[in-house]
Structure 1
């Protein structure tokens, strides 16, 4: 029993000694690659929230129904309202509102307050946005156009 305690004490001291007093620079791999951009910054590569603000509509693809009729309202105060109707689904209506952040200058990250779920849209131009993954990567191929929402 004493041997186990001594081994445990020495191990603890070795761990403590290795962790104290050292300052390391963060590894680039440790940083999240999607940087949050200050939406008040005046950088030509960042979205202008007043020009992006508006209502966007489209029908997104779905695995278990013909599609999801989507209406997304983006406000210049960094809030959003998302309404989705799952076509041919009983009780297939969903609404969410919350805040969004601008990532990497052009990707809007919508955060659902009740669950923390995040949805990403990239600003394509003044009249359209496209659903992307968390890195802002757009869908490719024939189906890419199905993920675009057009401004009303």
Structure 2
């Protein structure tokens, strides 16, 4: 996996984090729950898709697409233009402290940080926590869209609290607290069986991470329709329904 030279100093960001204090999770509510009493840009919900092409020391630029999901997971894709093997992909949890968004390390890639600026922009920070600057180069990612992260037909990873009782299943997403039903086709699958052996007692929630697609279905209770998850893969299930946002 190749990376640009301007990212190499970021390895020391791990030491920088230790000096700056504990980072706090960031959800999608209107308030910034960081320990710092910052206001302004960081108080804006940050979940969404950020894109731009940032400068590169030894290539034609890095086409970057960063998705900050409402459940505090991120996906980062970088395409190093002009290289024979250009694509770098990483994923993991994201956090915020004050007005600094942190992407947790992934594989051999170090931690990465961005300063939250006005108009929902993210500026890459160097190893000292200062905005990247070089010959007036722009290292800023621009907010593009919320990514339709919860619309019908969206397929992505979800983390949250899952409960199954009386032939009905409910999933509450971490970070957004958005409630989803679970499509009936999945109620007799491995999901239901694994829940039965994982939960502490009947009807109690468990922590669940799945790959799933959002669909619209007839409401299980009342009239009308509701959003539901069609689960295609169980990635993780634990008896304690603790979301990443609750880990201090």
Contact 1:111 1:118 in 2 (8 A): yes
Partner Cα distance (2:57, 2:109) in 1: 23
Contact 1:129 1:149 in 2 (8 A): yes
- What is the aligned-residue RMSD (CA, Å)? 2.5
> What residue is the counterpart of 1:64 in the other structure?
58
- Once the two structures are superposed, what CA deviation does each residue of 1:99-152 show, in whole Å capped at 9, x if it has no partner? 12223x1111212332361111111124211000244311346424x1001011
Cα shift at 1:76: 2.5
TM-score by length of 1: 0.66
> What residue is the counterpart of 1:137 in the other structure?
130
> What residue is the counterpart of 1:150 in the other structure?
142
The answer on 1:81 being equivalent to 2:75 is: yes
**Which of 38, 42, 52 is matched with 2:46 structurally?**
52
Partner Cα distance (1:65, 1:141) in 2: 15
Q: Which runs of 5+ in 1 are unaligned?
A: 1-30
Contact 1:57 1:72 in 2 (8 A): yes
User: Secondary structure, in 3 states, of the residue corresponding to 2:136?
Assistant: helix
Stretch deviating more after TM superposition (106-115 or 78-87): 106-115
Greater fraction helix: 1
Q: Which stretches of structure 1, 4 residues or more, deviate above 4 A after TM superposition?
A: none
CA spacing shift, 1:57–1:65, aligned 2, 3 Å: same
User: Secondary structure, in 3 states, of the residue corresponding to 1:32?
Assistant: helix
Contact 2:133 2:139 in 1 (8 A): no
> What residue is the counterpart of 2:100 in the other structure?
107
TM-score by length of 2: 0.43
CA spacing shift, 1:113–1:53, aligned 2, 3 Å: same
**Which of 98, 107, 119 is matched with 2:112 structurally?**
119
Q: Which runs of 5+ in 2 are unaligned?
A: 1-16, 27-32, 145-248
- Once the two structures are superposed, what CA deviation does each residue of 1:10-52 show, in whole Å capped at 9, x if it has no partner? xxxxxxxxxxxxxxxxxxxxx933223433627651634x711
Partner Cα distance (1:33, 1:143) in 2: 29
> What residue is the counterpart of 1:95 in the other structure?
89
Partner Cα distance (1:102, 1:134) in 2: 17
Contact 1:36 1:102 in 2 (8 A): no
Greater fraction strand: 2
Q: Give the paired residue count.
A: 119
Q: Which has the higher contact order (CA 8 A, sep 6+)?
A: 1
